[in-house]
Amino acid sequence: MIEWLHPGFIYIFGALLIPFLKGKWQKAYLLLLPILAFIDLQYMSTGVFWRIPFLDYELVFGRVDKLSLVFAYIFVIASFCMTIYALHVNRSGEHVAAFLYVGSTLGVVFSGDLFTLSIFCEIMAIASMFLIGFRGTKAAYQAGLRYIMVHLLAGACLLGGIIMYVQATGSIAFNVIGLNNFGSYFILTGFLINAAVPPLHAWLADAYPEATITGAVFLTAFTTKSAIYVLIRGFPGVEILIWLGAIMAVYGVIFAVLENDIRRLLAYHIISQVGYMVCGVGIGTMMALDGAAAHAFCHILYKALLFMGAGAIIEVTGRSKFTELGGLYKYMPITFWLYMIGAFSISGFPLFNGFVSKTMIVESAAVVHMPIIWLLLEGASIGTFLHTGLKVPYLAWFSRKEPACEAREPPKNMLVAMGITAFLCTLLGVYPQILYRMLPYPVEYAPYAAGHVIGMSQLLLFTFVGFWLLRGMLHGTPTITLDTDWFYRIGTKKFIWFCQKPLMTFANSVNNGVMKIASSFVWFSRNPTAATNIMVNSVAFVVLRPFNPVYKRYAQNIDELKKTYPGEPVQRVAVGTGVLLTLVFLAFYLTIYLIYA
């Protein structure tokens, strides 16, 4: 087709009607929008659409190719599952924020120019902030504020970099950018912040655990994966991304060891898994880029499923810390098994979707002869299974003989959403060609080669044995993990203290001084002659004070004048004297002006 309805606009404009619908009508409408967007994707043809002239440039809202379509499909599919999960939520504002978030992400995916990309990135940041704040707690408000400040920094880097890039190249087209000029470094920095690349990552583990139960599920899918999309589009093969991604993969796993909060642990594993994708973008071969896109596709599904399971626990128990959980299998067996499908997927078990995507990136590192990168990625796989696949279910469902608290299965819509997502994780693991046909480059990779299956199975088996032997050492501890956000949290407190105390004291002093000077000018302007005489008399008092008899006689004269004319300036003189002083002042000002003009 020549033109098409932008699927992002279906969400953005459709969100505006949500508050006007109630009950079953609202729920039906919420499900209708993702379905319409999916149908829209089915009828889209590749090409460039929705071109709008802007100054000397052309904004492109619709650049459609295989890369944009694979991300658009998973964003729409994920939004459908997440919407089912959120049907029991009665806050219309939260649904509006979620749909604006999804729609702006699709706007990023189909943006053909850098300015359009920047606009949709800002809408994403603002909409997602509300998914944190709607929880209504003090911690959520504070986390939301830090979240938006970090993303405003990312937006500033992106916009500043775009302006410099356009000045250097004369083009706003969003194609391969590379690191060819100063502006491209700022653009890359903006993308890396959204991708949560250390040390610019702490916003993710800080904000996601404080979001609403359903809002956190939406947050897992869109910001970091849209960042992977723009990195694939703009910076394929940039070598520094290889090392940043490998560090991310290990970094997230290490910090997950320290966490006592179930959603914070899963948040750190988002950082770890996104590291695989960033590494694949840096390797830059066709198989690595396909692996990055495929892993983003699969990660959205299994990470949403994991957060759904964690959210179900919080929904029915009100608890999220491992030290307050345990023994819940008696009450929540269905939730447990659905969660485990997500755990098997993220750990790379054969027959689950993580296996068919993660191994593409690991294999790409081996093909280009990067043994250290290969080793780091394999090591991160061990940590992922250890914590997400073993530690979380053990501490949440089995660690106590008696349940820590009474619980029940979550609302049916939450279980249905988890079931659909779990089915998709399994389907793509069993039939990976469904996914491989959607990828931007031809795929010549066989995930179920004997060597891959045996190697991964051995890795997972020995990890399980190690966990079982050391399971007593992996209990939760009520501690606070210090991450790189410590610096700007402490720095912000110091800055606020400086503004409230020293800076405000100085400002008040300056203000009082200025007000006194202004009052003096007002006082002088009421009667310049008398004011001049008073100032002269004041100086005379100081000068004549050592000569006591003279001073006393002068002071007596002044006192007599004050008694004679109560309430009037002392020694009122002719008006002509004031006029003369004014003219002298103006002449002096004019002379100075002419000299320095």
Q: What is the pLDDT along the chain (597 residues), one digit of tens a residue?
A: 446 789 999 999 999 999 999 989 999 999 999 999 999 999 898 888 888 888 888 999 999 999 999 999 999 999 999 999 999 999 999 999 999 999 999 999 999 999 999 999 999 999 999 999 999 899 999 999 999 999 999 999 999 999 999 999 989 999 999 898 899 999 999 999 999 998 888 899 999 999 999 999 999 999 999 999 999 999 999 999 999 999 999 999 988 888 888 999 999 999 999 999 999 999 999 999 999 999 999 999 999 999 999 999 999 998 888 888 888 998 999 999 999 999 999 998 999 999 999 999 999 999 999 999 999 998 898 888 888 888 899 988 988 778 878 889 999 999 999 999 999 999 999 999 999 999 999 988 888 988 888 888 888 888 888 777 776 666 656 666 677 776 777 777 777 777 777 878 887 888 887 787 777 766 666 667 666 766 666 666 555 555 555 555 555 655 555 555 454 444 444 445 555 666 666 777 677 766 655
Contact 216, 265 (CB under 8 A): no
N-term to C-term CA, the chain: 68
Distance (Å, rounded) from C-alpha 245 to C-alpha 365? 12
Burial of 58 (0-12, 13-18, 19+ CB in 10 A): middle
Say which DSSP state 349 is in: -
Helix H, strand E, coil C: the string for 353-394 is HHHHHHHHHHHHHHHCCCHHHHHHHHHHHHHHHHHHHHHHHH
Residue 289 tokens read as: 């880029």
Distance (Å, rounded) from C-alpha 343 to C-alpha 358? 14
DSSP 3-state of 594: helix
pLDDT number for residue 94: 95
**Helix, strand, coil share (%) of the chain residues, nearest 5:** 75, 5, 20
Burial of 116 (0-12, 13-18, 19+ CB in 10 A): buried
Nearest to 523 by CA among 534, 515, 531: 531
C-alpha distances (whole Å) from 389 to each of 147, 230, 303, 342, 553 are: 28, 30, 12, 8, 99
Say which DSSP state 138 is in: H
Q: At what angle are helices 412-430 and 333-347 packed, to 10 degrees?
A: 30
Contact 131, 120 (CB under 8 A): no
Burial of 84 (0-12, 13-18, 19+ CB in 10 A): buried
Residue with tokens 């642990």: 265
Distance (Å, rounded) from C-alpha 474 to C-alpha 458? 22
Nearest to 570 by CA among 583, 557, 561: 561
Longest distance between any two alpha carbons in the chain, whole Å: 116
Residue 389 tokens read as: 């696949």
Residue type, 573: V
Q: Indicate left, alpha or beta for 456 from its phi (over 0: left) and psi (-120 to 50: alpha).
A: alpha
> DSSP characters for 175-242?
S---S-SHHHHHHHHHHHHHTT-TTS-HHHHHHGGGS-HHHHHHHHHHHHHHHHHHHHHH-TT-THHH
Burial of 109 (0-12, 13-18, 19+ CB in 10 A): buried
Nearest to 226 by CA among 119, 51, 115, 102: 102
Contact 484, 146 (CB under 8 A): no
Domain ranges of the chain: 1-235, 237-483, 527-597
